[in-house]
Amino acid sequence: MNVLNVNAHLHTPYSFSAFNELTQALDMAVNDGVSVVGINDFYTTAGYEAWAAACKERHLYPLFNIEFISLNEADQKAGLRVNDPGNPGRTYLSGKGLTNPLNLPEPYASQLKAVREAANVQVEQMCAKLNTVLDSHNAGFQLDFNWIRDNLTKGSIRERHLAKALRIKVYETLGSDDAAIKACFEQLFGGKALKSALNDEAGVENEIRGNLLKAGGAAFVPEEATAFLPMEQVCRIIQAAGGIPTYPFLADDAKGGYTDFEGNLEQVAATLTERGFASVEFISTRNDLHLLEKYAVYLHEQGFVVTLGTEHNTPAMEPILLSARHGVPLTDTLKRINYEGACVIAAHQHVVAQGLPGYVDVDGRCDRSKRAEYIKLGDQLIKAVVETK
């Protein structure tokens, strides 16, 4: 099998991303030699139509995904950190291979809408609180939430949009007076000096977010309980949308450490299987190459569908072509595992579009013995698109 390059997890401006336009990601994919690309926005499928059309123009194969933040109450009560290192029980989940266009029945459509709206309300509250902070420091300007929504987003508003808007407003108000800009941020950060160079826009926005908008920051607003659906309910939404519930591994940190949930590889594989997951993913740029390969290979051998992506869910621009931490190229083994995972998702999308049960059906049932069959079909589907250039 000729293994193609895949990036199965990319955020777009329909949630928040490094890209100014959705097509920017796909143009970069073409330039980087990536043939299979998965849109993976938070709480929304609004970008699917544009993603499909732009992929078709470029002979790229599209995967249609979504991301949620869920809550496992048992893990929370046990103080177990899952894939959010700072919040026990909080669990990021992806859905892979949803139907396009989305055909989500009730009550799931309303549940998805309610979660998306709750996330927007929280950011609106943070914007109001941030304006109070600006007033207290006599900044001379405020942020307009409606302007942010209309000009910086596609409808889904994240705290990173607030950070971007504040950077833009400070730069706009203080012009080319670098000293005044630095002094403004130091004041807003409670006496903490800005570390990033002013031309490092991503760095500045990350500092704004870290100092003002995250827990402990002057403009932080905690999420309401309604912002997090139970993990099982999120899986049901994904299944009802025709997708495959997928567990995103945080995996090793810069010191080689793992969360409580992920530290024992054999145990986490068994637990995920017990919880009904047949698919996992990694954001490869977070992880050491050898530790990433250790986890990916083991999970693949246990029958999981394994995919990799870059996320691009921050202001920092990175290549679309996958690598491990510090830009270390992936091994051939990781490339093969990732491509085979993408083939399963591609085949699943195709089969479900015919009105048939996919690799994982709407009730969450999966026959892992069919993985090789789905890989073969997905390989044919993908190459029929990307090799017609």
How far is it, in rounded angstroms, from Cα 20 to Cα 33? 21
Geometric angle at alpha carbon 254, from 253 and 259, rounded to 5°: 20
How far is it, in rounded angstroms, from Cα 318 to Cα 311? 10
The per-residue pLDDT for range 31-47, each reduced to its tens digit, is 999 999 999 999 999 99
The answer to the question of residue 231 being in a domain is: no
Q: Give the 3-state secondary structure percentages of the chain, helix then strand then coil, rounded to 5.
A: 50, 15, 40
* Structural domain of 202: 113-213
Residues 6+ apart with CB under 8 A from 150: none
Is residue 48 a contact partner of residue 64, using CB atoms and an 8 Å limit? yes
The answer to the question of residue 297 being in a domain is: yes
- Going by C-alpha positions, the residue among 66, 90, 65 that lies closest to residue 77 is 90
Q: Where are the alpha helices (DSSP H) in 260-389?
A: 265-274, 289-301, 332-353, 371-386
How far is it, in rounded angstroms, from Cα 54 to Cα 100? 14
The answer to the question of residue 226 being in a domain is: no
64 and 160 share a domain?
no
Q: Is the pLDDT of residue 221 over 80?
A: yes
The per-residue pLDDT for range 52-94, each reduced to its tens digit, is 999 999 999 999 999 999 999 999 999 999 999 988 999 999 9
How far is it, in rounded angstroms, from Cα 156 to Cα 119? 8
How far is it, in rounded angstroms, from Cα 345 to Cα 365? 15
Look up residue 197 and give its amino acid: A
Phi and psi at residue 170, to the nearest 5°: -65, -45
258 and 198 share a domain?
no
208 and 328 share a domain?
no
The per-residue pLDDT for range 268-312, each reduced to its tens digit, is 999 999 999 999 999 999 999 999 999 999 999 999 999 999 999
How far is it, in rounded angstroms, from Cα 117 to Cα 46? 14
pLDDT class of 206 with cuts at 50, 70, 90: very high
268 and 143 share a domain?
no
What pairing do the DSSP bridges indicate for beta strands 90-96 and 61-71? antiparallel
pLDDT class of 259 with cuts at 50, 70, 90: very high
What is the crossing angle of helices 201-208 and 178-188, to 10°?
Answer: 20
User: What mean pLDDT comes out for the span 143-151?
Assistant: 96
The answer to the question of residue 236 being in a domain is: no
How far is it, in rounded angstroms, from Cα 32 to Cα 322? 9
The answer to the question of residue 59 being in a domain is: yes
> 287: domain CATH number?
3.20.20.140
Q: H or E element: which one contains 246? A: strand 244-249
- Of 213, 232, 265, the last residue of a domain is 213
pLDDT class of 218 with cuts at 50, 70, 90: very high
Tell me what pLDDT residue 158 has.
Answer: 92
320 and 292 share a domain?
yes
Phi and psi at residue 224, to the nearest 5°: -70, 155
Tell me what pLDDT residue 389 has.
Answer: 62
The answer to the question of residue 228 being in a domain is: no
36 and 72 share a domain?
yes
DSSP 213: I
Q: What is the mean pLDDT of the chain?
A: 96
User: What mean pLDDT comes out for the span 47-53?
Assistant: 98
Tell me what pLDDT residue 113 has.
Answer: 94
52 and 198 share a domain?
no
Kindly report the pTM of this predicted structure.
Answer: 0.94
Count of domains in the chain?
2
CA separation (Å) from 237 to 75, 83, 93? 21, 20, 11
User: What mean pLDDT comes out for the span 197-209?
Assistant: 96
Tell me what pLDDT residue 68 has.
Answer: 96
User: What mean pLDDT comes out for the span 331-352?
Assistant: 98
